[in-house]
Amino acid sequence: MGMTIAEKILAAHAGQEEASPGDLINARVDIALGNDITAPIAIKLFRQSGAAKVFDKDRVVLVPDHFTPTKDINSAMQVKMVRDFAREQELSHWYEGGDSGVEHALLPEKGIVGPGDLVIGADSHTCTYGGLGAFATGVGSTDLAAAMITGEVWLKVPESIKFVYKGKLRPHVEGKDLILHTIGDIGVDGALYMAMEFTGEVIDALPMAERLTMANMAIEAGGKAGIIAPDATTKEYADGRVIRKPVFYASDPDAQYAKVIEYDVSDLEPQVAFPHLPENTRPISQVGDVPIHQVIIGSCTNGRIEDMRSAARILTGNKADKNVRLIVIPATPQIYRQAMEEGLFDIFLSAGAVISPPTCGPCLGGHMGILAAGERAVATTNRNFVGRMGHVESEVYLANPAVAAASAIAGKIAGPDDI
């Protein structure tokens, strides 16, 4: 019997010829990742175990990004613990300050993750790397601690759902809209503990940034992983960048899926996810009149240079509404520099935006853009749960960068065609 791409990667890392849904495996990890919130817990457990050294100083990656630049004493102490551990262990991949950025944008950019990898991270959006053809999944800090010691992770092989996207996307419709539409269709538990395999002619035409966006939000449908088979686009991105030799896996023609779901997205509009779940999606034409107070363009979902350009195209020659706070957050220093060199910062500043250093900040309600009671934000982030970006009586609406930029100008949720 054939195997899916997810099953092939897991079998290879478990040293097995094959793997089937439901199998319990111990698998070798290529990368174990932690951040400034999750790594301190893992480090404490590492110490309690009596371990002296991580399994491989080149494969444990620590990136403070959630509360950085550190916002208070507690966050400073968290980062100090991680920093001290990274120096003690002589980790090759410790990133801070001008070398750091939002982890799930930083690791692909630096080639730390690549096609065929098995990546675990103590952050639910570790699934981002599936856009490169890796099996990547979020784990708890206890699992991270165990992986830092042993280099292995215990997993149950998931079933896979195959999503096939047909047609041709309309202008201003992006990977973010594909995944929001999908989550709106199947629900936030529609792929619970499953690998979401994204395929079809529309996926084949997507640039890498939008593939990473789609894989990033697999967890919002309950997915264990989101994955796209690597192809020529992946090879172009990986060549000269990926540290380890990439392995290109593909699903067999006779691979078994829990289900296959097909979409013709030729008429798909930009999508907006209403509070308080990513499944509450509506096409932009059915949004109605929703005044807003803040717009966030950034995050591990949509903080890449392509997202900056998408927003800048809409903002050129326009200003944000006087009642809207527009915050732009390039996800890494390289993206920050590139946006600056391309003149995007001039566009953002002329539009009245605040440009933040790379941080997860507002996405998790941490800092750099917290909402007060009664305030609404349009964000290119990935979650809009109650209180996600601040007060429990605030609201977050999820959208792509073009819609976010148009909404900033309009002072209410709006599409690019409205500007």
pLDDT surpasses 90 at 391: yes
Residue 341, domain member (yes or no): yes
CA 144 to CA 140: how far, in whole Å?
Answer: 6
162 shares its domain with 279: no
| Inside any domain, residue 410 | yes
Which pair of tokens denotes residue 198? 């994204």
Evaluate whether residue 252 is within a structural domain: no
The DSSP code sequence of 230-295 is --HHHHHHHTTT-SSPP------TTB--SEEEEEE-TTPPPEEEPTT-TT-EEEGGG----B-SEE
pLDDT tens-digit readout, 342-365: 999 999 999 999 999 999 999 999
**Domain's final residue, options 262, 297, 329:** 262
Q: Let me know if residue 162 belongs to a domain.
A: yes
CA distances from 147 to 25, 48, 61, 222, 338 (A): 14, 14, 12, 23, 35
Given a contact cutoff of 8 angstroms between Cβ atoms, the answer to whether 383 and 407 are in contact is no
* Residues 238, 280 within the same domain: no
Average pLDDT score over residue span 251-273? 97
What per-residue confidence (pLDDT) applies to 119?
98
The rounded percent of the chain whose pLDDT value lies above 90 is: 99
What pLDDT is stored for residue 272 in this prediction?
98
Of 303, 362, 365, whose CA–CA distance to 331 is shortest? 303
Domain containing 290 equals 273-418
pLDDT band, residue 144 (cuts 50/70/90)? very high
Q: Mark whether 340 and 192 lie in a shared domain.
A: no
The number of beta carbons lying within 10 Å of the beta carbon of residue 154 is 13
Q: Read off the pTM.
A: 0.94
* Residue 101 sits in the same domain as residue 158: yes
Judge whether 268 lies within some domain.
no
Same domain, 197 and 57: yes
Annotated binding site for [4Fe-4S] cluster: 300, 360, 363
Query: Which of 262, 292, 319 corresponds to the end of one domain?
Result: 262
Report how far residue 372's alpha carbon sits from residue 362's, in angstroms, rounded to the nearest whole number: 12
Residue 280 has a CB neighbour count (10 Å cut-off) of 17
Is 46 buried (19+), middle (13-18) or exposed (0-12) by CB count in 10 A?
buried
Please report the pLDDT score of residue 1 as a whole number.
79
Do 102 and 240 sit in the same domain of this protein? yes
Tell me, yes or no, whether 95 and 133 share the same domain: yes
**Last-in-domain residue among 232, 262, 292:** 262
Q: Are residues 113 and 230 in the same domain?
A: yes
pLDDT on residue 147: 97
Mean pLDDT computed over 374-385: 97
pLDDT tens track for 87-114: 999 999 999 989 999 999 999 999 999 9
pLDDT the model gives residue 126: 98
d(CA 59, CA 133): 18
Does 253 reside within a domain?
A: no
Residue 253 phi/psi, 5-degree rounding, is -60, -30
- Would you call the peptide bond into 291 cis, given omega within 30 degrees of 0 as the criterion? no
Residue positions forming the annotated binding site: 300, 360, 363
- Domain shared by 126 and 171, yes or no: yes
The answer on 223 and 180 residing in a single domain is yes
Res 419: pLDDT: 85
Q: Dump pLDDT digits (tens) for 231-245.
A: 999 999 999 999 999
* Stretch (H or E) spanning 5: helix 5-13
For residue 57, what pLDDT is reported?
Answer: 97
- pLDDT value at 79 more than 90: yes
Q: Is the residue at 250 inside a domain? A: no
* pLDDT tens, position by position, 148-157: 999 999 999 9
Domain check: are 196 and 80 in the same one?
yes
| CATH code of residue 14 | 3.30.499.10
Is 336 domain-assigned? Answer: yes
| Residue 393 tokens, joined | 């009586």
**Inter-CA distances, 195 with 9, 52, 72, 85, 158, Å:** 12, 35, 38, 33, 6
The CA distance from 390 to 395, in Å, is 9
Q: Which residues touch 140 (CB under 8 Å, ≥6 apart)?
A: 122
Question: Strand pairing partners for 398?
Answer: 273, 379
Are 205 and 277 contained in the same domain?
no
Total structural domains in the chain?
2
